[in-house]
Structure 1
């Protein structure tokens, strides 16, 4: 790398970190103003717990979320400054092409992308688990808590031949009622196990059935057994009963992939909300390259109005990207659609814009 490459790369990273450090305190200030009443409601909640369990993980989540925005603004700011100071004119007069000029930018974008990919796939999910646990304990309203606490009319396919059904289940007490497990041989029912009550034992991962009845169906007769209580094992845990899209944010990618594959085998039909979260963890960091090209192409030439005009155009483009990204996430979560395509649509659209601006800037 030449001296000019190190100069641009250093300015790239310093301006990026500076922009990120401006955005994070703003987000914290807004969040504190919204949640201060909730914090004061809990007299047993100390400052150390708020900072360690909530705001530390809040910073991790939003720092990663703001990375593309901070990157885009940073590139426009310091590239516009290079242009206004006629430094770019000196570079082009030295026979440096626009493509070669992008070299240090792409090194910087690669560093940001690698960090963001690692954060998205492994660090942020574990951090979100702690943060959401804090929110559930101190900040959630009664309705939100009940959505995760009570599960009703739930059915699940455990294997190709075994199905279960629960009328109601409480995730806090690990107990439910009106439980049924059916085993089939093709379309023919082979056995049926029913119980009035069911309780999960976390120590040994077994289920206790109360007032149970088991029916075995043979070719010419049936056998019926019953009892007051029996402990048995099933190929599921209470966590498998909760299909809330918010839970996907708490799973590292390897765990999320296993969960999706297992849920598909169990016959869960709509997992698109989980697939959207998985695809988004890769698509957003990759956008760093696209946004870098757009930002450099916009700020490469000196404009009347200077940095302010470039920044206004850039922020407008950035909000359009976020708008299309959110639309893609919503549409990608609908059952029956290809979630991968919808999540990547913003990158495809703005990738085409980046190519157009790149060819135009080369001229």
Structure 2
């Protein structure tokens, strides 16, 4: 590695760390001002709990969120400075091509991408668990109806369906339960129960006031009873299809969950697929954002650093806007989650290639 590469890489990483350290205290200060009254309401809540369970995880979660923005601003900032000092002109005068000039930026982007991949896939999900538990315990308003889910439907396999009229999440108990099994379009088996309750000790379900109906070719077989302990191919967690569940699983757990759910025939897993693919697409965007930032800032222009930052921040907001749209559309049942999540990277990747070709020619 040349002295020039070490110089640029040092500037790259130090500027990135500086911007990140400037953004996080601002976010923490804003959050403290909004939450201080809620902290003080709980006399049993200690300072160490607030620091360890809330703000340490806050730093991990929001630090990871701010990484693309910090990277983009940092690269524009220090590249504009060396361009303004005519250092880039001197580099080109030394017969160093634009492609070779990008080499230390590529190394810097690789370091940031590796950190982002590690955090997204393993570290942030663990932080989300503790952070979410703290939020639920101390910060969210107590809504006694939030624990109750109504009209829950779940497809267990290609031909198996369940329905629960109401489901109590904390008690893991439901009312007005129905299980149906089909062969093609024909109903072959139906199980009804007044209530259903999950038994943690032996992972079975306890049904009360049940009725079983088996539909044969020439007659129906009907049986009923007061209590039935049975095994069903789902768990209480499967009934709670929320974003938090996906965010709190590391990528190995999330992949296994998606694979298991697909095997059971659950049709719409796009909420989970969006979260899974996003954990890779965002760190990989480090390369795209870096190359765009270098291409914008490497040329000395009228307005200098200010105009470069204005263009850069505008592009960053466009990227975030596209990303949010892609996430919402990707969660829909009729869309391809993988394509939608990677669409902003494809669009900005094309922009990065265009800017690279334009700069490489000059």
TM-score, normalised to structure 1, is 0.93
Q: Which of 155, 159, 162 is the equivalent residue of 2:160?
A: 162
Alpha carbons of structure 1 residues 157 and 17: separation in structure 2 relative to 1, 3 Å: same
Contact 1:156-1:266 within 8 A present in 2 as well: no
Take 2:319 and 2:182, find their aligned partners in 1: how far apart are those partners?
50
Residue 137 of structure 1: how far off its partner (Å): 1.6
Q: Which of 324, 348, 358 is the equivalent residue of 1:360?
A: 358
Take 1:242 and 1:177, find their aligned partners in 2: how far apart are those partners?
16
Take 1:268 and 1:247, find their aligned partners in 2: how far apart are those partners?
16
Residue 321 of structure 1: how far off its partner (Å): 1.3
Residue 187 of structure 1: how far off its partner (Å): 3.8
Which residue of 2 is the match for residue 6 of structure 1? 6
Residue 15 of structure 1: how far off its partner (Å): 1.0
Which residue of 1 is the match for residue 308 of structure 2? 310
Residue 217 of structure 1: how far off its partner (Å): 3.5
Contact 1:169-1:175 within 8 A present in 2 as well: yes
**Superposed CA offset, 1:327-360 (max 9, x none):** 2222222231222222222212211221222122
Which range is displaced more, 155-164 or 294-303? Answer: 155-164
Take 1:214 and 1:49, find their aligned partners in 2: how far apart are those partners?
51
Which residue of 1 is the match for residue 83 of structure 2? 83
Which residue of 2 is the match for residue 238 of structure 1? 236
Q: Structure 2: 5+ residue runs without aligned partners?
A: none
Summarize the alignment of residues 224-303 of structure 1 with structure 2, pairs less than 5 Å apart: 224-303=222-301
Which residue of 1 is the match for residue 324 of structure 2? 326
Residue 172 of structure 1: how far off its partner (Å): 0.6
Correspondence 1:70 to 2:102:
no
Residue 267 of structure 1: how far off its partner (Å): 4.1
Summarize the alignment of residues 86-125 of structure 1 with structure 2, pairs less than 5 Å apart: 86-125=86-125
Summarize the alignment of residues 141-180 of structure 1 with structure 2, pairs less than 5 Å apart: 141-143=141-143, 146-147=145-146, 149-180=147-178
Take 2:333 and 2:183, find their aligned partners in 1: how far apart are those partners?
29
Take 1:272 and 1:322, find their aligned partners in 2: how far apart are those partners?
20
Instruction: Give me the CA root mean square deviation.
Output: 1.9
Take 1:185 and 1:345, find their aligned partners in 2: how far apart are those partners?
39
Contact 1:297-1:361 within 8 A present in 2 as well: yes
Take 2:320 and 2:305, find their aligned partners in 1: how far apart are those partners?
22
Contact 1:156-1:267 within 8 A present in 2 as well: no
Matched residues, number: 361
SS at 2:95 equivalent: coil
Contact 2:195-2:207 within 8 A present in 1 as well: yes
Which range is displaced more, 6-15 or 349-358? Answer: 349-358
Which residue of 1 is the match for residue 213 of structure 2? 215
Q: Which of 308, 320, 340 is the equivalent residue of 2:338?
A: 340
TM-score, normalised to structure 2, is 0.94
Residue 221 of structure 1: how far off its partner (Å): 4.0
Take 1:161 and 1:299, find their aligned partners in 2: how far apart are those partners?
58
Which residue of 1 is the match for residue 35 of structure 2? 35
Q: Which of 187, 190, 193 is the equivalent residue of 1:189?
A: 187
Q: Structure 1: 5+ residue runs without aligned partners?
A: none
SS at 1:191 equivalent: strand
Residue 16 of structure 1: how far off its partner (Å): 0.7
Which range is displaced more, 339-348 or 61-70? Answer: 339-348
